[in-house]
Structure 1
Amino acid sequence: MSTAIALFTSDLRIHDQPVLRAALDAADRVVPLFVLDDGVLGSRFCAPNRAAFLADCLEDLDASLRARGGRLVVRRGDPVDTAVRLAAETGATAVHLAAGVSGHAQRREDRLRRALGDLLHIHDAVVTVVAAGAVTPAGRDHFAVFTPYLRRWEQQPRRDPAPTPRRVPVPDGVQGERMAEVRALLASAAAGDPSPALPRGGETEGRRRREAWLGAPLDAYQDRHDDLAGDATSRLSPYLHFGCLSPTELVRDAEAAPGPGAAAFVRQLAWRDFHHQVLAARPAAARLDYRPRGDRWAADEQELAAWREGRTGYPVVDAGMRQLAHEGWMHNRARLLTASFLVKTLYGDWRAGAAHFLRLLVDGDLANNQLNWQWVAGTGTDTRPNRVLNPLVQARRFDPRGDYVRRWVPELASVEGPAVHRPWRLDPQRRAELDYPEPLVDLEEGTRRFRQGRGLS
């Protein structure tokens, strides 16, 4: 009997799973394999929130496979060495893998090609809707501006979702770690506690949330997606990051939904693909300026610590940072304004902010996190690199009653109305009662600092 290996990475699902489907079509038996990469376990990417979420994802995937007569084989080590050894151990005639975009993923694929040769089959458009590099402008290897990319992205043919398997026959005797051991290993490697309100991971939970989203919430998305207090975004990003949900399936179902919200939501999924194709072409953008501006970033550790802790004195910024710490997630509008405050008001290095987000965000995707930070910093793909998001203007537009701030900054819960966004204007006695810090920096001073650092004045 023939055997194939389905090597799972960022595609932890059984619905619309081209890697697993291809392995099942190619052989009588399949080994669904996930490798706990030693290189990742010892890195910043094995943060407590993502480690806990990943443990949920693996347990859920294992349960789904067991319901179909199979199981997930989890081993620890180097993914290439592990896949090669398992292929020899089982006599596998094929190894199937989803294409990645990061430098780490590209190096892994190169090593697998050299080690496995024709046995390796890499599948595009598994973690994205449109494969990175599938659409390019004339004379270039990627799009650097979103709008022309979006036009081509919308015209690109999409694959049909892969059928969900009914049975997954796995060879007898293939050894792997028990799920309890996997969870313990991830918790130990992460060396810290996850956020108190971290969502549960896994395809089952992701699909439950997806079904709840594809109705009235999606219909209202165009009008409400920036409403900080309304919390009217999908919250599906962690499930997309870990591949618990298929972006192809999600776009198909969103486009079939009535109402104006679908187009706005699909546009956000196109942004996700856009960042993936940028990083695939320029892996160094994860750490280096995509478009250098000659910045001389400030290195004030006290200001950076105040920003991390949500103690900047600007309530809407602090609310976002405290939501991040509590949930391992932050509203997208809050991500933009907290990032802008660090890089454009405090003139702090975007890399420091991106690293903090990666420590806490359960959806801490390298392409989206790093390139969104670069977009805000003006070193990325933004066509207006010197724009500054004023936190007071942002608060007035997207949290007009101050409900978001009062939810996440309890010191200000008793301040009524929009005055909550400017507590320094309260009388001195009232300010003292609140135990809330004065603004870290005057906004005009922050703008002057940024313009001088970038050589604009």
Structure 2
Amino acid sequence: MLFTGDLRLHDHPPLRAALGGGRQVVPLFVRDGAIEAAGFAVSNRRAFLADCLRDLDEGLRRRGGRLVVRSGDVVRETCAVAAQAGADEVHMSGEHTRHARRREDRLRAALEADGRRLYVHDGVVTAVEPGTLTPAGSDHFAVFTPYYRRWTGHRLREPLTAPRRVPVPGTVTSEPLPARADVDGTSPALAPGGETEGRRRLAAWLRDGVDAYEGRQDDLAGDATSRLSPHLHFGTVSATEAVHRARCHGGPGAEAFVRQLCWRDFHRQVLAARPAAAVRDYRTRHDHWRTERTAAADIEAWRRGLTGYPVVDAAMRQLAHEGWMHNRGRLLTASFLAKTLYVDWRVGARHFLDLLVDGDIANNQLNWQWVAGTGTDSRPNRVLNPVVQGRRYDPDGAYVRRWVPELAGVEGPAVHEPWKLPHTRRARHDYPDPVVDLAEALARFRRARERD
């Protein structure tokens, strides 16, 4: 059983299939050298992964087994373990990034050359597998709402319980498990990982949080979202089980939460059909972005949370401190970089992937494209005004004051426009002036998109 983005024991069809008939199984995780070489294995995700692997190993040991960890080329290591164990079959979950597809093809060919079979199980990483739902005349949905209607009517499989026993042969060797403590450069308040924590968080969310979600999902200061995205990314929580449990709970809040889970599947089916969208415009607007050299000072101010627009800076500082950011913050910080500063969305997407513990190629890249107007948004030229957004989603300024302590003494909504404070009060706060005038930035964007 080759684990990838499915680091759990509950609701795990490939693991169940591998155990069929009371067989012994080698639960294997390979620390993929290609991911590290591509720079994707950043500190926050490596630390969270270490938590996940340790928790998975503990869960297996309670069931009479253990986790085998190897490092390097996934195909080479998987074939070596299969040979060492005398395994006839390898089971794994299907994934749909370009890297995952190539890895699967290589693994299948290598195993077949050794007289072994690869079984790939769909509907494990997502609730609805990419390609299952398609509109007439196309291989994927390019607009969310019709996809959501079809997705809502699609019958999901029933979640599986965790196996009671996982017998593992004692002959297969493993590397030591990685430890969070061995990872340098993590965000100070990085959340813990692992299936135990993920299931605890899901249960607490359905018990105490989801009922208010419909009305509070954009409340920046209230922090009223599930924070399950890292667990969905690493597969410590099953998307299918989350949908089932939310629907059983019922109510408008649960329905709004399920809609967000659908967005995750939507982006994955777009990327599965158009893998180049990870690096290229899904729908080009023929932008001539400011270069990283000419916009260097503005980009650095954005990264450090020093743009002079408090709600943008608050969100960027939350990202640095937690390795996570509220979804509304993601939207407004992305809009600010791509449209207000008119910087290529790929610059921002790369910075997010450098820090986000839930850094997911499909969600990250396609959400950035949605905001930049090069993706699936039906209003590609909308611009989110950071002052308006701050007043709407942080009306009392509590979120800003939490993350921008320089403005802690500014009361109420005035915190969103500190440049308008009287000069004597303004001088007390060590906070920069805005890097750009919003009206001028909007005019520049409209000229660039030929909207004037």
What's the TM-score once normalised by structure 2's chain length? 0.97
Q: Distance in 2 between matches of 1:135 and 1:409?
A: 44
* One-letter amino acid of the structure 1 residue matched with residue 285 of structure 2: R
Aligned residue number for residue 159 of structure 2: 161
| More moved, 269-278 vs 116-125 | 116-125
* One-letter amino acid of the structure 1 residue matched with residue 145 of structure 2: T
Q: Distance in 1 between matches of 2:250 and 2:105?
A: 43
Root-mean-square deviation (Å): 1.2
1:382-397 superposed matches below 5 A = 382-397=377-392
Q: Distance in 1 between matches of 2:22 and 2:182?
A: 32
Note if 1:129 corresponds to 2:124.
no
Q: What's the CA shift string for 1:303-340, capped at 9, x where partnerless?
A: 00000000000000000000000000000001000100
Aligned residue number for residue 61 of structure 1: 56
Instruction: Give 2:268's match in structure 1, choosing from 276, 289, 298.
Output: 276
* One-letter amino acid of the structure 2 residue matched with residue 30 of structure 1: V
CA contact (8 A) 2:84 2:171 kept: no
Note if 1:333 corresponds to 2:328.
yes
CA contact (8 A) 2:336 2:386 kept: yes
Q: Distance in 2 between matches of 1:162 and 1:273?
A: 20
Shift of residue 88, structure 1, vs aligned partner? 1.8
Aligned residue number for residue 114 of structure 1: 109
Structure 1: 5+ residue stretches without partners: 1-5
CA contact (8 A) 2:51 2:180 kept: no
Instruction: Give 2:337's match in structure 1, choosing from 317, 342, 348.
Output: 342
Q: Distance in 2 between matches of 1:56 and 1:95?
A: 25
CA contact (8 A) 1:55 1:186 kept: no
Q: Distance in 1 between matches of 2:226 and 2:241?
A: 15
1:293-442 superposed matches below 5 A = 293-299=285-291, 300-442=295-437
Note if 1:21 corresponds to 2:16.
yes
3-state SS of the aligned residue for 2:92? Answer: strand
3-state SS of the aligned residue for 1:434? Answer: coil
Shift of residue 26, structure 1, vs aligned partner? 5.4
Q: Distance in 1 between matches of 2:20 and 2:385?
A: 55
Instruction: Give 2:234's match in structure 1, choosing from 228, 237, 242.
Output: 242
* One-letter amino acid of the structure 2 residue matched with residue 161 of structure 1: P
Q: Which runs of 4+ in 1 moved over 4 A?
A: none
Note if 1:219 corresponds to 2:214.
no
3-state SS of the aligned residue for 2:136? Answer: coil
| More moved, 83-92 vs 196-205 | 83-92
Closer, same or farther: CA 419–123 of 1 in aligned 2, 3 Å: same
Shift of residue 27, structure 1, vs aligned partner? 5.7
CA contact (8 A) 1:58 1:202 kept: yes
Shift of residue 13, structure 1, vs aligned partner? 0.2
3-state SS of the aligned residue for 1:200? Answer: coil
* One-letter amino acid of the structure 2 residue matched with residue 73 of structure 1: V
Shift of residue 139, structure 1, vs aligned partner? 2.0
* One-letter amino acid of the structure 1 residue matched with residue 50 of structure 2: A
3-state SS of the aligned residue for 1:220? Answer: helix
Shift of residue 141, structure 1, vs aligned partner? 1.1
CA contact (8 A) 2:133 2:151 kept: yes
CA contact (8 A) 1:411 1:434 kept: yes
3-state SS of the aligned residue for 2:428? Answer: helix
Instruction: Give 1:141's match in structure 2, choosing from 139, 142, 145.
Output: 139
Shift of residue 93, structure 1, vs aligned partner? 1.1
What's the TM-score once normalised by structure 1's chain length? 0.96
Aligned residue number for residue 3 of structure 1: none
CA contact (8 A) 1:51 1:186 kept: no
Shift of residue 277, structure 1, vs aligned partner? 0.6
